[in-house]
Structure 1
Amino acid sequence: MTSGAISKESETLKYGIIGYGGMGAIRHNAMRAIGQNVAHKIYEIRPVPEFRDLLVDDYRKIIDDPEIEAVIICTPNFLNKKLTIEALKAGKHVFCEKPPAFNGTEMEEIIEVEDQANRVLMYGFNHRHHGGSIKIRETIESGEYGRVLWLRGRYGKSVDENYFGNWRANKELAGGGILLDQGIHMLDLFLQIGGDFDEMHAFVSNLYWKLPGIEDNVFAIFRNSTSGTCASLHSTMTQWRHLFSFEVFLERGYMVLNGLKTPSGTYGAEALSIAKNRSNAPAATWEDEEVHRYDVDQSWEREMANFVAAVNGTVTPRSRDSFEALRVMRMIDRIYDNERHQSGQLFTKLNGEMSL
């Protein structure tokens, strides 16, 4: 998590962007909004008329350019690890979209290169930087409501048959389904607030779209055995309506964040309800709540400002971002491994019953 303030670095950064689809444009706009110049070079396989003079025909012309200090990577998932490693080895600072890799082992390989390169490496977990998420973290850190008891996160969207033509529908390109697409953000929020969860059970399914290796639903529960904090996740693309809901319940109150301010507006208004005090049983009333509404999404600007400040050495991150990414990927590994283990047990059980 980060402070709600957005700092504009006076020192501009020479950066290149690899991948100028929707996310590349969002990152570029955010950089310009915080006072950075336009990108030095852009690589994109499709035309980008407004920046045609910046386009290069090979991404290596960005990575190998000695004038470029940082590379922003906004490509399909399967390219993230490869391009990050190449850019770090070329001496560039790197900002890369999530997921950082396909699994924890790949993330460890990236960290080895990062250690040798001694450059800033950050990943696109912008949900940490939404106004509601920042307020949740600040409220918890104030201690006013006591310790966190449990968390619940629901994050889902609706897709149609057009999804089949998207690279996200291909396991080789995407690495997984809705968990790597959206659920990863909720897991990151869990870790930011609940610490490490060493106990877990999960169900992964693709009952509707039936795409090989592309799950459309994940149900998972976690527990931090040290603190006792529990968390529940539902990540889905068969919800038929876009929904974001993040709930934090503490000893002396609760916080419920519903909606998410996004460019598409499909997740509804972002509103955080906080119980001011603990009412008499059986429950708090609506009148006990204070509601914070966030009408402008500044998460992209905050995130890019953090990256530029880290590169310029004007801010020290709370924790090393690649380690945070590794924690998330290890959780994802455990979810997928748990499902494979359960499926193997079911296959063994059914085979045994058929042989009777």
Structure 2
Amino acid sequence: MNVGICGFGKMGQIRADAIETHGFAQIKSVFDVNIPDDCKYPVANSIDEIIEDPDIDIVFLCLPNYFNKPKTIMALKAGKHVFCEKPPAFSAQDVRDIQEVERASGKVLMYGFNHRQHGAIDKMKSIVDSRKFGSILWMRSRYGKSVDGDYLNTWRAKKELAGGGILLDQGIHMLDLLLYLTGKPFDEVHAMVSNMYWKTPGIEDNVFAIMRNTQTGVTASVHSTMTQWRHLFSLEVFMERGYMVLNGLKTSSGTYGDEILTIAQNRTTAPAATWEDEERLTFHIDQSWAREIELFFDSVQNGAPVKFGSSDQALEVMSLIDMIYEHDLHQAPNLADQLNMTVKELT
């Protein structure tokens, strides 16, 4: 089958390498406004030229966020299978609009949530599903990076092009992992969203959110930040009879450190688990890109359901993001009113 890649920056090139390694399909053409000098593939004149090419069966969308919804819909209507990078769109309603077209097309649609395919995450999910340590009680997560002033000159710093800030850019991965591990949605959310440092309208640089499933009681927190001056990835899962702590994430840049998973069974008497009781696993290879391509092509070739990165999962995570943004917007006026009342009382 023939593939067209729309957007041939870092992500487009990562996908191209994975496609070639897999061998199921060949890359017919690529497009980007800034094509690398060493590009070895035929270059199309536009995104639409790739989507409308009758010889192309599969379209990869590795584009700025604002393209994702309209070009996904366009490609599905053109009869193409679609692999789209996150975020799927700007809101849950956007995803519902896409799903209508997806169902009518009969084509495969998959979103790039590669963090699910990391070795440590796979191990954590298998332990949760085995119930070796019982049910999840709570989870705590942090995902942060730093950006410099050049960030303000890119499309990511414009609300109408990016849709949001660090939560939609990077925190979406952590929210997806929390949903993946629990297997249940969160229906109660409390959040604080701020842009204290970069002060870019509509582009948050920090989000603190705490979420709960009111039926199971499982509670989770996330801190998503672009003012983490030392890149950090941390995910903790505490269960009835044990815990798992993942620090670091194996990436090509190496900026998040080694991917180290600590596992231990608790004890009911003090001092509970000790450092000596913990098992530590280090995952040296990032196979997430290759595994995603393998799963996507399996769905295209064999009709297998999309297990990871489905539009239903995209809808679930975007619904949670909507709740986080909306909660902060609802709370801000109330806090302002309270502050004004306090000032009046003092004066």
> What TM-score, normalized by structure 1, do the two folds share?
0.92
Alpha-carbon distance in structure 2 between the residues aligned to 1:30 and 1:228: 40
- Contact 1:80–1:96 under 8 Å retained in 2: yes
1:320 Cα shift?
7.5
- Contact 2:61–2:83 under 8 Å retained in 1: yes
The one of 327, 331, 343 aligned to 1:342 = 331
1:225 Cα shift?
1.1
1:48 Cα shift?
2.9
Alignment of 1:31-46 (within 5 A): 31-46=19-34
Alpha-carbon distance in structure 2 between the residues aligned to 1:351 and 1:116: 53
1:43 Cα shift?
1.0
Alignment of 1:106-117 (within 5 A): 106-117=94-105
The one of 64, 79, 88 aligned to 2:76 = 88
Give the counterpart letter for 1:49 in structure 2.
D
- Contact 1:276–1:290 under 8 Å retained in 2: no
3-state SS of 1:122 partner: strand
Distance 1:164 1:279, change over 3 A: same
Tell me the equivalent position of 2:109. Answer: 121
3-state SS of 1:67 partner: coil
Moved more, 40-49 or 198-207: 40-49
- Contact 1:279–1:285 under 8 Å retained in 2: no
- Contact 2:241–2:267 under 8 Å retained in 1: yes
2:41 is the counterpart of 1:56: no
Structure 2 residue runs without a partner (length 5+): none
1:353 Cα shift?
6.3
Tell me the equivalent position of 1:137. Answer: 125
Distance 1:134 1:319, change over 3 A: closer
Alpha-carbon distance in structure 2 between the residues aligned to 1:172 and 1:182: 17
Tell me the equivalent position of 2:161. Answer: 173
1:317 Cα shift?
3.4
2:183 is the counterpart of 1:204: no
Moved more, 161-170 or 250-259: 161-170
Tell me the equivalent position of 1:151. Answer: 139
2:28 is the counterpart of 1:65: no
- Contact 1:80–1:101 under 8 Å retained in 2: yes
Alpha-carbon distance in structure 2 between the residues aligned to 1:152 and 1:169: 28
Tell me the equivalent position of 1:79. Answer: 67
2:315 is the counterpart of 1:326: yes
Alpha-carbon distance in structure 2 between the residues aligned to 1:52 and 1:318: 32
1:169 Cα shift?
0.9
2:236 is the counterpart of 1:251: no
1:47 Cα shift?
2.4
2:235 is the counterpart of 1:242: no
Tell me the equivalent position of 2:220. Answer: 231
Moved more, 14-23 or 271-280: 271-280
Distance 1:289 1:90, change over 3 A: same
- Contact 2:186–2:212 under 8 Å retained in 1: yes
1:49 Cα shift?
3.0
Alpha-carbon distance in structure 2 between the residues aligned to 1:318 and 1:26: 21
Superposed CA offset, 1:65-123 (max 9, x none): 12211100000001100110000000111000000000111111111111111111110
The one of 179, 190, 212 aligned to 1:191 = 179
Give the counterpart letter for 1:154 in structure 2.
R
